[in-house]
Chain A
Amino acid sequence: MTAAFGALGRPVLQALAALGRVALFAASVLGHILRPPFYLRELGLAVLQIGWFSLPVVGLTAIFTGGALALQIYAGGSRFNAESVVPSIVAIGMTRELGPVLGGLMVAARVASSIAAEIGTMKVTEQIDALVTLSTNPLKYLAVPRVLAATLAMPVLVAAGDAIGIMGGWLVGITRLDFNSAAYLKNTVDFLEGWDVGSGLVKGAVFGFIVALMGCYHGMNSARGAQGVGAATKAAVVSASVLILAANYVLTEVFFTT
């Protein structure tokens, strides 16, 4: 009986301890954001790496998702003679949910893995120790610029993804579903509200924070050797993806049911 409780309790305690460590790490990163020194060069490079270079993958994801969404809504809507809702539902679906969530997941795959691998390699090659001996706080130099950059860049990526996704729906609408181009666009603009877009951008900022935080946390806690860096990279992508989906549910509850 005791053994059974032990087997059940150990993973729960381990999970709680891990959650506590991540929370402390996040608090520490947030605490350093407003305190000097500020590494603006590193912030600029991180914005370029995380934001600009993620644009192609986010754009491609969005355009295919928007197109597929239009086809699905048309197929579903035709059962109730409601094909005309395609533009508005594509717009709402992209801005509220699919833009931020799929964008976040794609950025998690691209950025969390790269941050964890880079920082993990720096750890195993003693570059992080070297930073300390050069009177530089590794958290401030490595984690803060990346977390800040991802939090700022992700809403911009989501906005771009929203626009591209809606365009994907429009392209499919006018070429495959016989919609009139002007009517499709008018329907999209008329139906879309500011908060549909705004809530997605807020979600984007939260997902960006999660992605970079997980990359930095797992990189800095990487075990030794190639296997350790590999495990840290995998953990960063998995944890960032799961946390994005969990945070999406919580934010949706907060934004749209209260």
Chain B
Amino acid sequence: MIELREVHKHFGANRVLQGVNLTVASGSSMVIIGGSGTGKSVLLKCILGLVRHDSGAITLDGQDVTAGDRDAFLSRFGMLFQGGALFDSLRVWENVAFRLVRGARPLPKAQAREVAVEKLRRVGLKPEVADLYPAELSGGMQKRVGLARAIAAEPEIIFFDEPTTGLDPIMAGVINELIREIVTEMGATAMTITHDMTSVRAIADNVAMLHGGVIRWTGPVSELDRTPDAYVQQFIHGRAEGPIESVR
């Protein structure tokens, strides 16, 4: 279980997180929604330790995420980055198998490649893609390679940062389905940040809305349309009028 209690983070005068409280149960899929620049990515990065929070507590199964063995902590996570963040200098299979050939118990190269090709197949990519470089792939294929890399070591927790941004609706649908299937089949805990309401409905068990540096609303995805919260209603219906300023 991931728990955030009164988490604060600022960059200069910009107070991005102003006391975030959130609980993500093990094996559940939490989607965080919110406008651009509200700190959704910062929140994920604080949990991973990529950005150090100013105050508050972030725990994973009761353990402070900033304490203990960092490698052991990170080995429990997989992450799909917004732009894929694939390593340009490595072939696709080397990207997918990156963690497998390094670390405490590295796999032999041939075995790691087999696992990588299997993970690529799992995300709908043919084995021929394995020997290409990321620059030779389309945006949708890069996202799928990023997804294959995120699940390669079968992590317990997977983070998805804007998984469908920049994709056409059909490819976005494919990615949403893949995420849902993979999370269910692996029994992983998932945290996704997105603006895409189709993704929210396809991926989420629970939804949290981040606004003004705090979690404005959280609840099961089934409650999302019924909540009277004016911020949530404005956001999910994409209205310009409402409590959220359209010029930020």
**B106's closest neighbor in chain A, by CB?**
A37
> Which residues from chain A contact B185 at a C-beta distance below 8 Å?
none
> Which residues from chain A contact B49 at a C-beta distance below 8 Å?
132
Question: Which one of A103-111, A122-130, A214-222 is at the interface?
Answer: A122-130
Taking a contact as CB atoms closer than 8 A, the residue among B75, B81, B86 that contacts A129 in the complex is: B81
Q: Taking the nearest CB of chain A, how far is it from the CB of B145, in angstroms?
A: 12
Q: Is the CB of B99 within 8 A of A130?
A: no
What is the CA–CA distance of A130 and B95 in the complex, to the nearest angstrom? 11
Q: Is the CB of A126 within 8 A of B83?
A: yes
Bin the interface of chain B by size. 20 to 34
What is the CA–CA distance of A125 and B84 in the complex, to the nearest angstrom? 8
CB contact under 8 A between A132 and B103, given known A126-B81, A126-B83, A127-B87: no
Taking a contact as CB atoms closer than 8 A, the residue among B75, B77, B82, B98 that contacts A126 in the complex is: B82
Bin the interface of chain A by size. 10 to 19
What is the CA–CA distance of A190 and B99 in the complex, to the nearest angstrom? 57
**Is A14 among interface residues, defined by CB-CB distance under 8 A?**
no
Q: Is the CB of A129 within 8 A of B87?
A: no
Interface contact tally, CB-CB below 8 A: 46
**Is B74 among interface residues, defined by CB-CB distance under 8 A?**
yes
Q: Is the CB of B50 within 8 A of A125?
A: no
Give B residues with C-beta under 8 Å from A: 45, 48-50, 70-71, 74-75, 77-79, 81-83, 85-88, 98-99, 102-103, 149
20 other A-B residue contacts (CB within 8 Å) besides A126-B81, A130-B81, A134-B98: A122-B88, A125-B85, A126-B82, A126-B83, A127-B86, A130-B79, A130-B85, A132-B48, A132-B50, A132-B74, A133-B50, A133-B77, A133-B78, A133-B79, A134-B74, A134-B102, A134-B149, A135-B70, A135-B75, A135-B103
Question: Nearest 5 A-B pairs (CB), nearest first?
Answer: A130-B85, A126-B85, A133-B79, A135-B74, A134-B99
Give A residues with C-beta under 8 Å from B: 37, 122, 125-127, 129-130, 132-136
11 cross-chain CB contacts under 8 A: A126-B82, A127-B86, A129-B81, A130-B85, A130-B86, A132-B74, A133-B50, A133-B74, A134-B102, A135-B70, A136-B102
